[in-house]
Amino acid sequence: MEFMMKPIGILHSPFTEKEGTPIQPTRSQAVGKVEVYPEYADGLQDLEGFSHIILLYAFHCSSGYSLQVKPFLDDQLRGLFATRHPCRPNPIGLSIVRLLARHENILDIEGVDMLDGTPLLDIKPYVPEFDVRNNVKTGWYAKRSKE
Amino acid sequence: MEFMMKPIGILHSPFTEKEGTPIQPTRSQAVGKVEVYPEYADGLQDLEGFSHIILLYAFHCSSGYSLQVKPFLDDQLRGLFATRHPCRPNPIGLSIVRLLARHENILDIEGVDMLDGTPLLDIKPYVPEFDVRNNVKTGWYAKRSKE
């Protein structure tokens, strides 16, 4: 069983190389644009009421993946699924960014941590009732070796 | 450009029909299991240190999608991408569930809102520093007609 994913748009970012690209939106103040292809623009109605959106996109990882990786913020090998490392069996990236404005099919966003030209797969509204958890334990991350 | 996604596991849930399935993990106390296929089990190391995990999975939507939908919690048509409706151009589902325990390649989870047999695409650790936002506006959801 396989699922074919087709980009619904493209992400425009100031970052063109992995080196120097922020590792998470919460560590980025960079602004960028989400260009949703015109045939999907009608699906963006009402999105401008939300201050934050979840972007799902395809990582540019042509080089496969490893099940044990060294996270950016640690110096020990960890299980891939216990990290946010970009090279994964299904290389789907997830970023929660601030939505500054919508102009038709173009979204102005802040907190960009993707490479320029990243293919967009989905947009979902960020809803604290669904997406925020309290009393969270974060394993190795809480004891990470880097900041 | 297209991306082929191949399930890395399967979700076992008490819910076998859409009717009666909770719409979000925060509205579910149901427990279930994530069965990660054995060839990916090494990637689960260290995951047990996290209390919450993000599951990305494929929605069972054989019936296509509409760019305007009525959300479960509202009675007006909204832009698809301003909702969490399951039928989307790339039908990727996102649920943040509590991780109760890991037994090799099997994860016991709480907060199940997926149908039994849902194909799993990815697992990411839930990290508040990356995934929690404050001062959030939620547009139509804040004024929704249903609870």
Mutation pick from A1, A2, A3, A69 vs chain B, by most beta carbons of B within 10 Å, is A3
Q: What is the pLDDT of residues B55-72, one digit of tens each?
A: 999 997 667 999 999 998
A79 close to B (CB below 8 A): yes
**Among A42, A65, A81, which would you mutate to test the B interface (most chain B Cβ atoms within 10 Å of its Cβ)?**
A81
| Alpha-carbon gap, residue B78 to B6, rounded angstroms | 31
Element (H, E) at A130: helix A128-131
Min distance A134 CA to chain B CA atoms (Å) = 8
Rounded to whole angstroms, how far apart are CA atoms B12 and B35? Answer: 7
Contact A93, B130 (CB under 8 A): no
Specify the length of chain B in residues.
Answer: 147
Taking alpha carbons only, the member of A119, A131, A128 closest to residue B124 is A131
Provide the whole-model pTM.
0.95
Searching chain A, which residue's CA lies closest to the CA of residue B97?
A133
SS3 state of residue A29: coil
Helix (H) or strand (E) run with residue A58 in it:
strand A52-58
Q: Name residues whose C-beta falls within 8 Å of residue A73's C-beta, 6 or more positions apart in sequence.
A: A23, A141, A144, A145, A146, A147
The list of chain A residues with pLDDT below 50 reads none
User: Does B99 lie at the interface with A, CB-CB under 8 angstroms?
Assistant: no
Could you say which residues from 114 to 143 on chain B have a Cβ atom under 8 Å away from some Cβ of chain A? 119, 121-133, 135-142
Q: Please compute the mean of the pLDDT values over residues B37-53 and round it to a whole number.
A: 98
d(CA A22, CA A25): 7
Chain B nearest-CA distance from A46, in A, is 6
What pLDDT, on a 0 to 100 scale, did the predictor assign at position A89?
96
Residue of B nearest to A59 (CA): B3
Is A38 in CB contact (< 8 Å) with chain B?
A: no
Per-residue pLDDT reduced to its tens digit, B89-146 = 999 999 999 999 999 999 999 999 899 999 999 999 999 999 999 999 999 999 998 8
